[in-house]
Structure 1
Amino acid sequence: MREGGRKAVASLLAAGLFWSAPASAAVHLVQGAAVPRVPAAPTVPVFGTPGNISVGSLQPPSGAGLAAPFISPVLPFLARVAPALRPDGAAGPGRIRIPSAAVTPTAASAPWSLTAAGGSVLLEVVQRDGRPVVNGAAVPDRAQVAGMSAGSARGSGDALMDALLGIRPRSVAPDPVDAAPGAPAGMPWASRLSRTGGARAYGAMSPAGPAGPEAVAAGAKSAGSGRPGIRAAFSAVVRQVAAAAARLAGSVYGTRILHLHYPHRSWDHVTGDMASEDKVKATNGEHPAGALREILNRTGWAADNPAGLSVSFTPALMEIARKLWGTGWIQRWREAIGWRTASGAPRMEMLITGFHFLYGLLPWGPAGEALVRWNVRYHELLMKEFWGPPAPGQMRIFRPPEVGFSPELVPALVKVGIQVVVVDSHHVSRAMKGYDAGGMPNLPPPNKADQRNAAPGPLDYYTSGKDGRNTKDVLPHAYLPHWLRVTDPADGKEYRIIVFPMAGGPSYIAGYQDFPNDIVQDVARRAGARPPVLGLDTDGDNAWGGGYSSYMESMPRLAHWLDANGHRFGTIQEYLTRHPVPADDVLEWVEPGAWPNADWGTPQMSRWLWPPIKIINGQKPAFDPAAWNFKLQFHALLTMAVHCLLQAEAALKRSAPGWELDMARVVKADSDPAAGPLEKAVQAVLRAFDSGHVYYSPEKDFVQIPLLAAKTAYDVARNLLGEASLMAPTIWGPNRFPWNPGGENRGEVYGWRSHVYAPEFDAYGFVHAAGGLKRVELRWRVSSDGRTSPADENLLYAGAGPAVGGWNAAPMELKDPYAQVEWSGLGAGDRVRELPRFAHAHVSPGKDVLVDYYIEAEDAQGRIQRSPIQHVFVGPT
């Protein structure tokens, strides 16, 4: 049944049911290509001929007057959509029941209906005033069609084709006087503009400000042939049929998340060579504000439709755009952000992302919380300045750069008021018990310690992607939002946040080509009670995704196709408003990692963190504490920089009780004379530690910018405190190598080969304390009952139980990496004077055991800091 429903509209087109278009045109459409028009030669649409058409033993009576205008094409369509039709009226799971009384009307006015097994009517045809009415929509008769001119016939054919594809022209052109200025032509209005008195009463969906004449022109164009009643009737009919077919297949909710970013490059200025490419990325009114207009600029949307776009426009790109081109371009964005859904939420949903940190690889504890707090507050202040205040009730949704996420981030996000975080679907899938990683050669299998969520039933896998950037997801589970709970290991406090999935493999496809409809159909076939989210998240300014075809053609086409086929297309908030996450739908874990675009989605996040390894004679990689690379250097510098900023902040609070860092001054630090050294240093650090600086090779700017920012933070702390120390140590890590000790490892880090390692691993990280370190230890313990993933007692430092052993304290070897720093030509006066210590320890816990481990560091003053607890299963994957 669902398979048939998925092909509903394609069947209509392939059968050539509604007009005499060439067969090649029908095939062209079925393949999902650009919308072809009815040939230029005069062509009158054909709406069916009288006669009996059999489907099994079902025959609509030719004398009933229903077959001629509509039923003739409907039955073969139903035969394609619902091959399980039973003429005897029997029904079973997933089948359709057609009562025999409804099939054989005794009079011309008797109804003809298609009824679902549950009793709801999917399709009903009645006669009214001698004309058939399908689901309440009147169908024009042959005389009306025959009286159309050739031009009107072509217009009608175009209109019907548009309706089938979801590009539905409006039935009546809007009155230019009544149309709200700047509104997309296809948007319904809760109230119309007053013709008298000059008052303009906007409805809930009114835009924020004025716009050009394009909306009025689009609306006028939609009047078409001058026979809007015919066009409206057929649009309504086709919409009803498509919606009925979609109900058979299951509904999908599509979203488009566009990530727009460019990093600050040169330290004290923005280089001019960016102007040609970034002006388009940041300020071109067609990208993506124009795309949203194109999506909404069609009729046929229901009044409560959720249509919209979700956009993460980073602070770096906002600042670059303002510096290079001023603020004149902002009005187009404000206008689009001002458009509202029926629930009052923005149709241009601006997401919080902060500067382009790799949030899955932060130094945790107070340092991580400060970085999250500063980033979120900075971005919110900029968004208010650029886009205006948020809409009432607008959700605070965080979209991490690179979709890089680790659950340790959750407490910091919750503390700053974030309600929702976007994650990659395959990290949700891989965290499920029993997940099979076969067929994914570019990724290591998930470690069993990360597989903590019970499977809701048999695992239904769906693999998609291209160029090796594939994701193997469990549907519909991985395409649904869930709650994620994270426990503070110190006090046991629980933090909860909604994780909203982006579809990893499909998103990569969407960034490089027109999105294929068959993926939607594949997902729909696996739909459950809550519609799965097909979250297409792309680097909106990269590859094909940055072009006109992507924004102005592909995205609108997909939105219209979804709506025309019984699905939905809209924003994140609209989904969560319509389909709240059940309180008991709680995940215990999401595997760390980013999207597949860069590093194939490995939980090691190797594109941004290359472990200290060596490869000898082409053999498998081995941990090497003497190894160094510019990516490790990047994380070491961030660890020191944030520690220095916290030192300086503590010093100012001590000297002026009640003082707090003013983020409004931080945002203006490079232009506000009142900004102090700390505000300037915080701004410098936030701008400098961009994930793009370690994505590529060690380009000069990418190496120098973090060095200069760390030097600024270091100098501010030293000027305030000298050699004194006010903060406990800052810890980055621990990370480990290999990812699966005692099991299989594969992917880029492992030379694209499969390697099985011994049941042991090396844990490593960075530790910095301004006053020096007294000790750094790796604490680790083993669960002896055969469990492969953590229970509640494994989550706490003080956790204990009959199967959880005591903590072992292994001193970590400390290395000063300063002699290995890559300066990339930076002069001695601009260099940092020290770096955090690189700490590592080897663990041999035995085979087939679950190991909990964390770093504990004590500074010379006796202050202690602990990292979050990590977990690894040591044994076969």
Structure 2
Amino acid sequence: MMPIHHALVLNLHQPLGNLPDLWEHNRWEAKEILFAMDRIPRKLWGFEDVARVHLSLSGTLLESLSDPVFQNRVYGTVDVGSLLWHFQNTSLFEILGTAYYHPVLPLIPEADRKEQLWRWLHIGRHLFWRERFPGFWPPEMGFSMELIPLLAELGYRYVLVDSEHVESVTPMDWPQLRYRPHIARYEGAEIVVVVRDRDLSNAQESGMEPEWFCQEVAERTRWCDFPPLVTTCTDGENGGWFRNVTQGSNFWDAFYLPMLMRARFDAEAPRPIFIGEYLDRYGAHGEVKVHSGAWNTGDHSGHGFTQWTGSTRQKDGLAAIEDLSKQIHDLRWRAGELGRGEAEIQYPLSQALSHLLQAETSCHFYWGEAWMERAEQLLKKAEAELETARESLGDE
């Protein structure tokens, strides 16, 4: 029987300033989130021989966790500085690269995508003490093929995509398509695609028993003539299953730790593995194309990005981002051509760009129109800074 490998992927994200704000105005929810994150390394100590967890942490979350003021504020509840240190344990964790402000990348202007990714790399390299991150987590699993050249340029080996959007180019059956890494190509660039099993991920998000998971995985992979890679991806600090503080009643106590015990003593149990290690052993096979889309949300399938584009106000907000992005990048280019590097121009330009990138946060569009005002206010700030830069440049 072929060994079954399991890649566990957890996404951790909080919008900029959300955790400090919750700490001031909704202390218990802030504690639930911090406890859920702090629980991750603590539950895995002593299981370095079998535990393997992939973590994606947005730049805005890392900004809050690494802020000395916030660290001092929550010290005594969670030692956030030590938490960041524990996440550097390479025996337990493979850190994935992502985009700083957690935008749905296919929905933002191309010029801003690289800014989002570079900004995350800057803070990721600083906090995790490494130059390279092998895998990429697209926020909301929002992916389109035109992202491939950028990801390849920045050195990413593989990207996570949702199973509902993957189509084979090389002939392959259903188990091969879902439980084996593949190659995707676009305009001469290529990257390894690792497929998230949507059904099993849904179960991981809502709560499942080890026995059920083992039986389900065995049944789904029974016809594989290769060592299958079963990949499950969910948020890691949202929902009662992950936030539950009762001993024995959360994801770690009720599911993952019992799974680790099985992996130690049962050769037929799914064995946790880092995706990079799997690729080193078995490689990627066959070519696929990935249709544009995101992971499933509470209301939508992820097709067409409806969660973020369903209303007129959401569409108008994205159109405003497109227009303002062009103005900001055009003025940056013009200032460079004229050799105008003085602070009176460059500082408001950099501020305008930062406000724009922050406005692109997926959460601003996720909740229908409930958070759209946040994006709109940030765009107004960006417009004001842009106007200041224009006046200093003497540009009409």
TM range (shorter): 0.7 to 0.9
The verdict on how the C-alpha distance between 1:609 and 1:697 changes in structure 2, with shifts beyond 3 A counting, is: closer
Please tell me whether residue 717 in structure 1 is matched to residue 386 in structure 2: yes
The verdict on how the C-alpha distance between 1:599 and 1:414 changes in structure 2, with shifts beyond 3 A counting, is: farther
How far apart are residue 358 of structure 1 and its match?
A: 0.7
Please tell me whether residue 545 in structure 1 is matched to residue 242 in structure 2: yes
The alignment partner of 2:201 has SS state of: helix
Counterpart contact for 1:292–1:308, Cα < 8 Å: no
Please tell me whether residue 689 in structure 1 is matched to residue 360 in structure 2: yes
Moved more, 710-719 or 520-529: 710-719
Counterpart contact for 1:291–1:551, Cα < 8 Å: yes
Structure 2 counterparts to residues 312-461 of structure 1, below 5 A: 312-321=56-65, 322=67, 324-326=70-72, 328-340=79-91, 347-354=92-99, 355-363=101-109, 368=110, 370-387=111-128, 389-390=129-130, 394-428=132-166, 431-432=167-168, 453-456=169-172, 459=173
How far apart are residue 707 of structure 1 and its match?
A: 1.4
Counterpart position of 2:255 = 554
The alignment partner of 2:151 has SS state of: helix
Q: Distance in 2 between matches of 1:399 and 1:725?
A: 41
**Alignment deviations for residues 449-507 of structure 1 (CA, whole Å, 9 cap, x no partner):** xxxx2432xx4xxxxxxxxxxxxxx21322211110012xxxxxx11011111111101
The alignment partner of 1:421 has SS state of: strand
Identity across matched positions, percent: 20
How far apart are residue 526 of structure 1 and its match?
A: 2.7
Structure 2 counterparts to residues 138-153 of structure 1, below 5 A: none
Moved more, 600-609 or 330-339: 330-339
Q: Distance in 1 between matches of 2:281 and 2:262?
A: 21
Please tell me whether residue 646 in structure 1 is matched to residue 345 in structure 2: no
Letter in 2 for 1:554: F
Counterpart contact for 2:134–2:155, Cα < 8 Å: yes
Counterpart position of 1:510 = 204
Please tell me whether residue 574 in structure 1 is matched to residue 245 in structure 2: no
The alignment partner of 1:634 has SS state of: helix
Q: Distance in 1 between matches of 2:342 and 2:53?
A: 36
Q: 1:703 aligns with which of 353, 372, 392?
A: 372
Q: Distance in 2 between matches of 1:706 and 1:495?
A: 33
The verdict on how the C-alpha distance between 1:422 and 1:485 changes in structure 2, with shifts beyond 3 A counting, is: same
Q: 1:261 aligns with which of 10, 13, 37?
A: 13
Counterpart contact for 1:593–1:603, Cα < 8 Å: yes
How far apart are residue 607 of structure 1 and its match?
A: 1.0
How far apart are residue 329 of structure 1 and its match?
A: 1.7
The alignment partner of 1:475 has SS state of: helix
TM-score w.r.t. length of structure 2: 0.84
**Alignment deviations for residues 258-288 of structure 1 (CA, whole Å, 9 cap, x no partner):** 111121368xx84633543234424666431
Letter in 2 for 1:514: M
The verdict on how the C-alpha distance between 1:319 and 1:336 changes in structure 2, with shifts beyond 3 A counting, is: closer
Letter in 1 for 2:356: V
Q: Distance in 1 between matches of 2:293 and 2:390?
A: 38
Counterpart contact for 1:263–1:692, Cα < 8 Å: yes
The alignment partner of 2:234 has SS state of: strand
Counterpart position of 2:39 = 287
Q: Distance in 1 between matches of 2:359 and 2:114?
A: 17
Please tell me whether residue 679 in structure 1 is matched to residue 367 in structure 2: no
Q: Distance in 1 between matches of 2:394 and 2:360?
A: 24
The alignment partner of 1:698 has SS state of: coil
The verdict on how the C-alpha distance between 1:315 and 1:279 changes in structure 2, with shifts beyond 3 A counting, is: farther
Q: Distance in 1 between matches of 2:317 and 2:118?
A: 24
Counterpart contact for 1:372–1:413, Cα < 8 Å: no
Q: Distance in 1 between matches of 2:300 and 2:261?
A: 31
Counterpart position of 1:608 = 308
Counterpart contact for 1:404–1:594, Cα < 8 Å: yes
Structure 2 counterparts to residues 152-171 of structure 1, below 5 A: none
Counterpart position of 1:629 = 312
Q: Distance in 1 between matches of 2:105 and 2:43?
A: 29
Moved more, 311-320 or 540-549: 540-549
Q: 2:25 aligns with which of 252, 265, 273?
A: 273
Aligned residues: 375
The alignment partner of 2:121 has SS state of: helix
Q: Distance in 2 between matches of 1:682 and 1:559?
A: 45
The verdict on how the C-alpha distance between 1:708 and 1:556 changes in structure 2, with shifts beyond 3 A counting, is: same
The verdict on how the C-alpha distance between 1:294 and 1:504 changes in structure 2, with shifts beyond 3 A counting, is: farther
Counterpart contact for 1:252–1:523, Cα < 8 Å: no
Q: 1:499 aligns with which of 157, 177, 193?
A: 193
How far apart are residue 386 of structure 1 and its match?
A: 2.8
Pick the structure with more helix per residue.
2
Counterpart contact for 2:11–2:233, Cα < 8 Å: yes
Counterpart contact for 1:647–1:725, Cα < 8 Å: no
Counterpart contact for 1:689–1:706, Cα < 8 Å: yes
Please tell me whether residue 480 in structure 1 is matched to residue 175 in structure 2: no
Letter in 1 for 2:258: R
The verdict on how the C-alpha distance between 1:650 and 1:572 changes in structure 2, with shifts beyond 3 A counting, is: same
Q: Distance in 2 between matches of 1:476 and 1:413?
A: 24
Letter in 2 for 1:609: T
Q: Distance in 2 between matches of 1:295 and 1:475?
A: 30
The alignment partner of 1:318 has SS state of: helix
Counterpart contact for 1:375–1:686, Cα < 8 Å: yes
How far apart are residue 599 of structure 1 and its match?
A: 4.7
**Alignment deviations for residues 154-177 of structure 1 (CA, whole Å, 9 cap, x no partner):** xxxxxxxxxxxxxxxxxxxxxxxx
The alignment partner of 2:290 has SS state of: coil
Counterpart contact for 1:261–1:313, Cα < 8 Å: yes
The verdict on how the C-alpha distance between 1:540 and 1:350 changes in structure 2, with shifts beyond 3 A counting, is: same
Q: Distance in 1 between matches of 2:338 and 2:364?
A: 36
The alignment partner of 1:501 has SS state of: strand
The alignment partner of 1:319 has SS state of: helix
How far apart are residue 562 of structure 1 and its match?
A: 3.8
Q: Distance in 2 between matches of 1:310 and 1:717?
A: 39
Counterpart position of 1:310 = 54
Please tell me whether residue 564 in structure 1 is matched to residue 265 in structure 2: yes
Unaligned runs of 5+ in 1: 1-247, 341-346, 433-452, 460-473, 488-493, 611-627, 662-673, 727-770, 772-877
Q: Distance in 1 between matches of 2:350 and 2:53?
A: 34
Counterpart position of 1:98 = none
The verdict on how the C-alpha distance between 1:560 and 1:597 changes in structure 2, with shifts beyond 3 A counting, is: farther
Higher-Rg structure is 1
Unaligned runs of 5+ in 2: none
**Alignment deviations for residues 373-399 of structure 1 (CA, whole Å, 9 cap, x no partner):** 211221122223333x117xx543110
Please tell me whether residue 655 in structure 1 is matched to residue 338 in structure 2: yes
How far apart are residue 252 of structure 1 and its match?
A: 1.5
Letter in 1 for 2:143: F
Q: Distance in 1 between matches of 2:10 and 2:253?
A: 13
Q: Distance in 1 between matches of 2:39 and 2:342?
A: 39
Q: Distance in 2 between matches of 1:331 and 1:414?
A: 32
The verdict on how the C-alpha distance between 1:703 and 1:292 changes in structure 2, with shifts beyond 3 A counting, is: same
The alignment partner of 2:307 has SS state of: coil
Counterpart contact for 1:359–1:404, Cα < 8 Å: yes
The alignment partner of 1:527 has SS state of: coil
The alignment partner of 1:338 has SS state of: coil
Letter in 1 for 2:386: A
Letter in 2 for 1:693: H
How far apart are residue 537 of structure 1 and its match?
A: 0.6
